[in-house]
């Protein structure tokens, strides 16, 4: 059994799946887009509500996750069409297939447990392995190369901007002074040297988040998507976005507000919805999730 097969057998729990289905208000004959399909947790639930005339499209940069999704939908009806592309590129790709609008869009901007627990991917400071952090391991620079080629001041800016870490200057200095920076252990040791024990895990999480965002251009992709999605929903169509940190949530909130002020969209969640205490107890990684919904009205 391959590593992908092994990971496919692990339990994958999609975040706030009941809320997603309720707010998407899935029509059986509608066309839906899961822009971050991952291991297909939400997509499977959406697909179960579609008739033979419905359609579901999924996008993801993680080829390993897409392979798992393909295996889940291989014999499905209606078929699910998957793309190894960023969700930000969806309008042009769907238009090339003759589709200009969809009935619903979902983005879950979090990492899957498979990604977090995979030592060779380098996403978590709790694992061991190379300092990579790429969603698409065949494209772009790994985190180790980003660190090597980035000046100390610029690295500090990345850590502060994307991680909101107030010790960004001292952490960047320690990282650049480290004799080697090729593994997760190298990075965690550099951070350990300049952070107090009682705040260390928070600093580690923030630095890893910041580097992951920079390596994958996550905020750039989100901004590109938020600038282009509005014409791609039908009137009455809904968009559901689940974010996991304040930078993402702020961008989503501002975009929904701008579209509402133009009279194009109605914001259906005045405040972001949060996972229930029962869900958080079962899935601790759901705790920071914030879900926002908007509906096209013109």
Q: Tokens 């391959």 identify what position?
A: 2
3-114+219-296 belongs to CATH 3.40.50.150: yes
Report the alpha-carbon distance of residue 279 to residue 21 in Å, rounded: 16
Higher per-residue pLDDT: 185 or 120: 185
Residue ranges matching CATH 1.10.150.170 in the chain: 119-217
Domain boundaries 119-217, CATH class: mainly alpha
Residue ranges matching CATH 3.40.50.150 in the chain: 3-114+219-296
Please tell me the predicted confidence (pLDDT) of residue 191: 98
Structure token digits, residue 115:
């990604």
Structure token digits, residue 209:
């988040």
Max Cα distance, the chain (Å): 59
Report the alpha-carbon distance of residue 67 to residue 84 in Å, rounded: 10
Report the alpha-carbon distance of residue 50 to residue 48 in Å, rounded: 6
Q: What is the pLDDT of residues 238-278, one digit of tens each?
A: 999 999 999 999 999 999 999 999 999 999 999 999 999 99
Report the alpha-carbon distance of residue 111 to residue 52 in Å, rounded: 31
pTM score over 0.85: yes
Please tell me the predicted confidence (pLDDT) of residue 127: 84
Mean pLDDT value of segment 124-141: 89
Residue 113: pLDDT band with limits 50, 70, 90 = low
Q: What is the pLDDT of residues 172-210, one digit of tens each?
A: 999 999 999 999 999 999 999 999 999 999 999 999 999
In the chain, the percentage of residues whose pLDDT exceeds 90 is 84
């Amino acid at each position: 059994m391959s590593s992908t097969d092994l990971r496919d057998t692990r339990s994958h729990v999609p975040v706030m799946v009941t809320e997603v289905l309720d707010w998407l208000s899935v029509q059986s004959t509608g066309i839906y887009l899961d822009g971050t399909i991952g291991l297909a947790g939400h997509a499977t639930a959406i697909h179960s509500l579609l008739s033979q005339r419905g359609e579901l499209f999924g996008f993801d940069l993680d080829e390993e996750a897409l392979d798992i999704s393909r295996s889940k939908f291989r014999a499905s009806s209606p078929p699910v069409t998957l793309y190894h592309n960023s969700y930000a590129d969806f309008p042009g790709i769907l238009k090339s297939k003759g589709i200009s609008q969809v009935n619903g869009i979902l983005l879950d901007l979090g990492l899957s447990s498979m990604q977090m627990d995979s030592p060779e991917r380098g996403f978590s400071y709790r694992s061991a392995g190379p300092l990579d952090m790429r969603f698409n391991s065949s494209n772009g620079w790994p985190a180790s190369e980003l660190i090597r080629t980035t000046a100390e001041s610029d690295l500090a800016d990345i850590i502060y901007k994307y991680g909101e870490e107030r010790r960004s200057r001292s952490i960047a200095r320690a990282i650049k002074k480290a004799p080697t920076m090729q593994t997760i252990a190298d990075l965690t040791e550099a951070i350990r040297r300049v952070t107090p024990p009682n705040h260390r895990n928070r600093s580690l999480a923030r630095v890893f988040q910041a580097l992951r965002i920079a390596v994958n251009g996550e905020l750039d992709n989100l901004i590109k998507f938020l600038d282009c999605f509005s014409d791609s929903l039908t009137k009455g169509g809904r968009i559901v976005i689940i974010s996991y940190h304040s930078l993402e949530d702020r961008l989503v909130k501002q975009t929904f507000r701008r579209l509402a002020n133009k009279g194009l969209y109605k914001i259906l969640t005045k405040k972001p919805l949060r996972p229930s205490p029962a869900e958080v107890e079962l899935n601790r990684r759901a705790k920071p999730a914030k879900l926002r919904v908007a509906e096209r009205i013109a």
